[in-house]
Amino acid sequence: MSQLIQLKQRIQAIASIKKITQTMRLISMSSHSKLKKQSESLQRFRAEVKPLLCALTTKNQAPSNELTAKYKNLFIVFAAEKGLCGAFNSSMFTYFNHHLTPEALDNSHIICVGKKAIDYLQLRNIEPLLKFDKVLPNKLEKIAQDLYEQVVKIHESYESVICLSSHPKTFFVQEAQTTTIIPVQQDPCDLENIVSLDDYEWVQDQRSVKACMFAILLKTNILLILTNSMLSEQSARFLSMDSATRSAEDLLKSMKLAFNKLRQAKITRELIELISGF
């Protein structure tokens, strides 16, 4: 009797876990769909802004009298906010370990985005310059704006600003990548797609417009990287929860079969005992 009760309790527990993983799977897919549309819109917008900025940069080349940067690099590390997303976090940590070597960190600073990034730096005894946690799908624009404002304040002290993040290569494959957002020109201009400045009426000075376009492109790049990182996280979480749900279903089937066999054996034994009493 006690064996039947224990087996029934385990079945109920696994059924509850299945409901949780199924719910998380649906939430991840819903978030992924919204983030996918946002990522596509940002990519189209950047594709429109980039040629104009290239044209302005080519025509209004600034004189080379820039001050020497005080520090080498500013790394912005993007990682997941939560777990339960399979090997997503471990693969990101492997990528970080490969790129954030002691030589790379020499005379450099780090900004971490996401709780898992903060935990990773703590394990390596690295104190980040800034921390951004509670990175949720409904707060991406606010976080991107805050991150942009901080980068604009301090970017002149660094030779370059480099982002380490995840990019959704496909729905089933997430790929870690390195993106240099400052200087912008490190992402080369496509000379064939540079627009003609004669097609525009310039109410303001072109140099002022160039500075404004640089700010727009930088903010767009930060939001796009953050969106793609969250998109990868949601894809990985959906795949992980989908696998967990299917495993729970298989386990439930086998345990229900074992429960029915055990119950039938108990009923048969009681019948035998009852009949043998006559």
pLDDT per residue as tens digits for the range 162-190: 999 999 999 999 999 999 998 875 445 55
Contact 52, 213 (CB under 8 A): yes
* Mean pLDDT in residue range 79-103: 90
The answer to whether 241 and 84 are in contact (CB under 8 A) is yes
Cα–Cα dist 16/224, whole Å: 37
| Rg of the chain on CA atoms, in Å | 27
H helix or E strand, kind and range, residue 178 = strand 174-182
Nearest to 229 by CA among 91, 107, 97, 99: 91
CB 1 within 8 A of CB 259: no
What is the pLDDT, as a whole number, of residue 138?
87
Strand partners, 73: 160
Dihedral, CA of residue 214, residue 216, residue 221 and residue 226, to nearest 10: 140
Asked if 74 and 160 touch (Cβ cutoff 8 Å), the reply is: yes
- The more confidently predicted of residues 203 and 180 is 180
Please report which confidence band the pLDDT of residue 201 belongs to, taking 50, 70 and 90 as the band edges. Answer: confident
Average pLDDT over residues 32-41: 93
pLDDT at 275: 81
Q: What is the DSSP letter of 107?
A: T
pTM (two decimals): 0.84
Percent of the chain predicted with pLDDT > 90 = 56
205-259: pLDDT as tens digits: 777 888 888 888 899 999 999 999 999 999 999 999 999 999 999 999 999 998 8
Calculate the alpha carbon distances from 266 to 229, 230, 270, 277 in Å: 54, 52, 6, 17
The two three-digit tokens of residue 198, written as one number:
């004669």
* Mean pLDDT estimate for the chain: 86
Q: Which residue has the higher pLDDT, 200 or 161?
A: 161
Task: Give the per-residue pLDDT at 151.
Answer: 93
pLDDT band at 109 (very low <50, low <70, confident <90, very high): very high
* Predicted local confidence at residue 240, as pLDDT: 92
- According to DSSP, the residues that pair with 131 across neighbouring strands are 112
SS3 51: helix
- Asked whether residue 66 carries a pLDDT value surpassing 60, the answer given is no
Alpha-helical segments (H) within the chain: 2-59, 88-99, 102-105, 115-123, 140-154, 206-276
DSSP bridge partners of 113: 78, 132
**Structural contact between residues 85 and 243, judged by C-beta atoms closer than 8 angstroms:** no
Query: pLDDT value at position 1?
Result: 62
| DSSP at 125 | T
Helix and strand tally (H, E) in the chain? 6, 5
Q: Residues of the chain with pLDDT > 70: what percent? A: 90
Burial pattern 64-90, b for ≥16 Cβ within 10 A else e, equals: eeeeeeeeebbbbbbbbbeebbbebbe
- Whether 194 has a pLDDT exceeding 70, the answer reads no
Q: How many C-beta neighbours within 10 Å does residue 55 have?
A: 22
Q: Which two tokens stand for residue 166?
A: 């995840």
- At 278 the pLDDT is 64
DSSP bridge partners of 180: 162
The pLDDT, as a whole number, for residue 186 is 46
pLDDT over 70 (residue 191) = no
Averaged pLDDT for residues 109-126: 93
What CATH number was assigned to the domain covering residues 45-61+68-197+207-239?
3.40.1380.10
Three-class SS state of 257: helix
Burial class (CB in 10 A: 0-12, 13-18, 19+), 242: middle
Which pLDDT value is given to residue 62? 53
Q: What is the pLDDT of residue 67?
A: 58
